[in-house]
């Protein structure tokens, strides 16, 4: 058997490390050791980015932060390669300004991006400036290094340009920074984070992004510090039972994270969900040997794995999504939960369809359909995903028959209190039918189906609205209606920019190409110009 390429090996290792809860900082350290990477290359590879992908993100972040107001995108893959490999060859050294920008993009401390070779070759003025930037004490580097100084030199400085002059920023002087000064709105500096309050409630709290990255606490009105983990009951090794609050905590937090995802997209949720999955694994290792209690935790662990699979799927990271769905399938068997097993098989069909693999989409959906209770909700879900797989294979009659079967099963299904597929409804079947009609080339019917779904969508499903808008836009493009397509595309882009949904942005990139032949249409021109400004600014 041929040995896999180093890129494939690194991708597999990164996925395994992230699945265990390891940070990009820890991955970069391991990659630097294992693959002999310089620190700046190690952090890039820890994120799984090529040099071109990293350059795109660096340029986009510089534009958003007001550091490259003209949008000239001066970072390129060859230039980044020189920066990563300096001082050998000694062609383009990284200035403190550029290191600070890299630290923001890579989510690490600036000091982690320089090693002894760098320090021995950097000009004394640069070393002095770097040493004057604060270090995070004894923790993984996640602070925003760029906010620790204000530069009067050009951001993209090279060795031929004068050193940067340091001055305290508004944040370091004890004043709140003016969001508009960086070319961003106030909301761009906030993330919505689930917090466990002392009274046991989980509340959604706005948290300053840089404050969060710096590890700052969030203080409630009562003066007590809230932390998503601080109030979590823990189990000493060898405990004979699990505190009931543990199970309740995980169940409630998963519901909040799912709601957060619907409102704000996956990027706000993934890290917290992974942390909680790690905590569940810790409880399973150290907690009770009681089979019923372990089954309860395994049931919740399966739900978190499914959630993580969904979050990565919506982010466009299908490989990691597949990893988590595989874990969910394994854990559903260990939990002795046949309904969970059926649902995860159906979810794997949905993921296969998103990957463009209709054969697997049909195979695993049919396996779910065979295993499901014939008149239960899960059978209807399996039939729905099987229908779309057949649509991708061009089998229209089978596809539409399965959608009708899904409706019939759901009409006869009794009440179901299980958590699997709570989102499923007749309206969901119809929006999936519209998706399949577009795949089959019936664009007018698809557009009508998406419009009906959008009009009936609850306000909480903000991200799903963007997905359906983007797909409706594609259907109008297929029907040769460029004005409607472009107008809907702009509306979907607003949602995609706020949620970082890979499904939205994938559809919009396809739409940009689909309407390219109508560039004389004002709406099309406006949409394509908007897309040209943001494709790399929205990390998916």
pLDDT category of residue 370 using cuts at 50, 70 and 90:
very high
Confidence check: pLDDT of 426 > 70: yes
Dist CA 508 CA 477 (whole Å): 11
Between 162 and 82, the more confident residue is: 82
Q: What are phi and psi of 253, to 5 degrees?
A: -70, -35
User: Contact 229/275 with Cβ under 8 angstroms?
Assistant: yes
pLDDT category of residue 181 using cuts at 50, 70 and 90:
very low
Question: Considering the domain boundaries, does residue 113 fall inside one?
Answer: yes
pLDDT category of residue 512 using cuts at 50, 70 and 90:
very high
Confidence check: pLDDT of 327 > 90: yes
pLDDT > 90: what percent of the chain? 36
Q: Domain tally for the chain? A: 2
Q: Is 194 helix (H, G, I), strand (E, B) or coil?
A: strand
Confidence check: pLDDT of 137 > 60: no
Mean pLDDT of 186-210: 43
So what's the pLDDT on residue 223? 32
Task: Kindly state whether residues 119 and 266 are assigned to the same domain.
Answer: no
Question: Considering the domain boundaries, does residue 223 fall inside one?
Answer: no
- The domain boundary residue, chosen from 103, 132, 161: 132
Mean pLDDT of 324-347: 94
So what's the pLDDT on residue 528? 92
> Helical H runs in 287-337?
291-315, 318-334
Task: Kindly state whether residues 128 and 248 are assigned to the same domain.
Answer: no
So what's the pLDDT on residue 69? 58
Question: Considering the domain boundaries, does residue 147 fall inside one?
Answer: no
Residue 350 CA from chain centroid, whole number:
18
- The domain boundary residue, chosen from 132, 151, 175: 132
pLDDT, one tens digit per residue, over 9-20 is 888 888 888 877
So what's the pLDDT on residue 73? 62
pLDDT, one tens digit per residue, over 269-308 is 888 888 888 888 888 887 667 788 888 889 999 999 999 9
Angle between helices 462-478 and 482-499 (to 10 degrees): 150
So what's the pLDDT on residue 4? 64
Cβ burial of 355 (10 Å; 0-12, 13-18, 19+) is middle
Which pair of structure tokens corresponds to residue 518? 């109508």
Q: What are phi and psi of 442, to 5 degrees?
A: -90, 75
Q: Is 94 helix (H, G, I), strand (E, B) or coil?
A: coil
CATH number reported for the structural domain that contains residue 446 in this entry: 1.25.40.10
Confidence check: pLDDT of 232 > 50: no
Mean pLDDT of 363-379: 93
pLDDT, one tens digit per residue, over 478-488 is 999 999 999 99
So what's the pLDDT on residue 132? 64
**β-pairing, 190-196 with 225-226?**
unpaired
Mean pLDDT of 412-423: 81
Confidence check: pLDDT of 182 > 60: no
Question: Considering the domain boundaries, does residue 484 fall inside one?
Answer: yes
Burial annotation 461-495 (CB, 10 A radius, 16+ → b, else e): bbbbbbbbbbbbbbbbbbbebbebbbbbbbbbbeb
Q: Is 120 helix (H, G, I), strand (E, B) or coil?
A: helix
Residue with tokens 């001066």: 74
Task: Kindly state whether residues 265 and 117 are assigned to the same domain.
Answer: no
So what's the pLDDT on residue 488? 95
Question: Considering the domain boundaries, does residue 186 fall inside one?
Answer: no
- The domain boundary residue, chosen from 84, 107, 132: 132
C-alpha dist (Å) from residue 236 to 249, 253, 300, 358: 17, 22, 20, 47
So what's the pLDDT on residue 2? 58
So what's the pLDDT on residue 179? 31
Question: Considering the domain boundaries, does residue 200 fall inside one?
Answer: no
Q: Is 293 helix (H, G, I), strand (E, B) or coil?
A: helix
Between 463 and 234, the more confident residue is: 463
Owning domain of residue 107: 6-132
Taking all residues of the chain, what is their mean pLDDT, rounded to a whole number? 77
Taking Cα atoms as reference points, which of 314, 203, 295, 299 lies closest to residue 250?
A: 299
How many other C-beta atoms are found inside a 10 Å radius of the C-beta of residue 211?
17
So what's the pLDDT on residue 446? 95
How many other C-beta atoms are found inside a 10 Å radius of the C-beta of residue 152?
10
Confidence check: pLDDT of 140 > 50: no
Confidence check: pLDDT of 35 > 60: yes
Task: Kindly state whether residues 121 and 248 are assigned to the same domain.
Answer: no
Task: Kindly state whether residues 353 and 476 are assigned to the same domain.
Answer: yes
Q: What's the chain's length in residues?
A: 540
Task: Kindly state whether residues 127 and 248 are assigned to the same domain.
Answer: no
Confidence check: pLDDT of 189 > 60: no
Taking Cα atoms as reference points, which of 229, 262, 205, 278 lies closest to residue 286?
A: 278
Between 159 and 269, the more confident residue is: 269
Which pair of structure tokens corresponds to residue 460? 């909480």
Task: Kindly state whether residues 399 and 530 are assigned to the same domain.
Answer: yes
Task: Kindly state whether residues 295 and 427 are assigned to the same domain.
Answer: yes
User: Contact 343/306 with Cβ under 8 angstroms?
Assistant: yes
User: Contact 500/266 with Cβ under 8 angstroms?
Assistant: yes
Q: Is 90 helix (H, G, I), strand (E, B) or coil?
A: coil
Dist CA 75 CA 70 (whole Å): 13
So what's the pLDDT on residue 290? 78
Task: Kindly state whether residues 252 and 127 are assigned to the same domain.
Answer: no
Residue with tokens 């300096």: 86
Dist CA 450 CA 441 (whole Å): 14
Question: Considering the domain boundaries, does residue 69 fall inside one?
Answer: yes
Element (H, E) at 192: strand 190-196
So what's the pLDDT on residue 340? 94
Residue 70 CA from chain centroid, whole number:
28
Question: Considering the domain boundaries, does residue 526 fall inside one?
Answer: yes
Task: Kindly state whether residues 487 and 362 are assigned to the same domain.
Answer: yes
Confidence check: pLDDT of 53 > 60: yes
Confidence check: pLDDT of 444 > 90: yes
Q: Is 193 helix (H, G, I), strand (E, B) or coil?
A: strand
Between 169 and 98, the more confident residue is: 98
Residues facing residue 202 across a β-bridge: 196
Lowest mean pLDDT among 183-187, 271-275, 496-500, 533-537: 183-187
- Top-confidence range, 93-102, 385-394, 447-456: 385-394
**β-pairing, 218-219 with 190-196?**
unpaired
């Amino acid at each position: 058997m041929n040995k896999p390429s180093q890129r494939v090996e690194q991708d597999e290792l990164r996925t395994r490390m992230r699945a265990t809860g390891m940070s990009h900082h820890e991955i970069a350290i391991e990659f630097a050791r294992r693959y002999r990477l310089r620190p700046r290359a190690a952090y890039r590879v820890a994120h799984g980015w090529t040099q071109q992908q990293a350059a795109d993100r660096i340029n986009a972040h510089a534009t958003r932060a007001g550091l490259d107001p003209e949008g000239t995108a001066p970072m390129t893959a060859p230039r980044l390669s020189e920066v990563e490999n300096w001082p050998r060859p000694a062609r383009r050294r990284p200035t403190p300004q550029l290191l600070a920008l890299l630290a923001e993009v890579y989510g690490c401390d600036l000091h982690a991006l320089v090693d002894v070779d760098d320090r021995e070759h950097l000009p004394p003025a640069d070393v002095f400036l770097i040493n004057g930037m604060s270090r995070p004490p004894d923790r993984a580097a996640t602070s925003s290094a760029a906010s620790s100084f204000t530069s009067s030199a050009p951001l993209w400085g090279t060795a031929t340009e004068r050193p940067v002059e340091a001055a305290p920023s508004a944040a370091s002087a004890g004043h709140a920074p003016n969001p508009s000064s960086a070319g961003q709105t106030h909301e761009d500096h906030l993330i919505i984070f689930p917090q466990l309050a002392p009274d046991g409630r989980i509340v959604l709290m706005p948290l300053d992004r840089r404050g969060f990255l710096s590890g700052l606490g969030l203080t409630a009105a009562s003066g007590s510090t809230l932390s998503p983990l601080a109030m979590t009951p823990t189990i000493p090794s060898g405990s004979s039972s699990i505190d009931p609050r543990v199970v309740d905590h995980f169940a409630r937090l998963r519901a909040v994270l799912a709601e957060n995802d619907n409102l704000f997209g996956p990027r706000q949720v993934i890290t917290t969900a992974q942390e909680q999955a790690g905590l569940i694994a810790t409880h399973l290792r150290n907690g009770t040997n009681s089979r019923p209690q372990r089954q309860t935790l395994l049931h919740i662990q399966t739900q978190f794995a499914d959630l993580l699979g969904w979050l990565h799927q919506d982010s466009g990271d299908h490989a990691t999504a597949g990893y988590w769905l595989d874990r969910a399938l394994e854990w559903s068997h260990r939990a002795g939960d046949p309904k969970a097993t059926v649902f995860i098989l159906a979810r794997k069909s949905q993921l296969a369809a998103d990957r463009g693999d209709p054969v697997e989409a049909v195979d695993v959906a049919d396996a779910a359909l065979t295993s499901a209770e014939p008149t239960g909700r899960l059978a209807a879900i399996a039939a729905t995903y099987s229908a779309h797989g057949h649509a991708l294979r061009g089998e229209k009659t089978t596809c539409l028959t399965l959608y009708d079967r899904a409706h019939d099963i759901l009409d006869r299904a009794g009440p179901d209190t299980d958590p699997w597929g709570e989102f499923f409804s007749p309206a969901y079947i119809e929006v999936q039918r519209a998706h399949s009609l577009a795949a089959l080339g019936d664009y007018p019917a698809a557009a009508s189906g998406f419009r009906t779904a959008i009009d009936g969508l609850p306000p909480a499903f903000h991200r799903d609205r963007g997905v359906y808008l983007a797909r409706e836009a594609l259907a109008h493009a297929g029907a040769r209606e460029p004005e409607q397509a472009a107008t809907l595309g702009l509306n979907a882009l607003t949602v995609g920019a706020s949620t970082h949904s890979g499904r939205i942005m994938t559809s919009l990139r396809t739409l940009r190409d689909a309407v390219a032949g109508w560039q004389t249409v004002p709406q099309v021109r406006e949409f394509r110009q908007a897309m040209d400004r943001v494709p790399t600014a929205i990390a998916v």
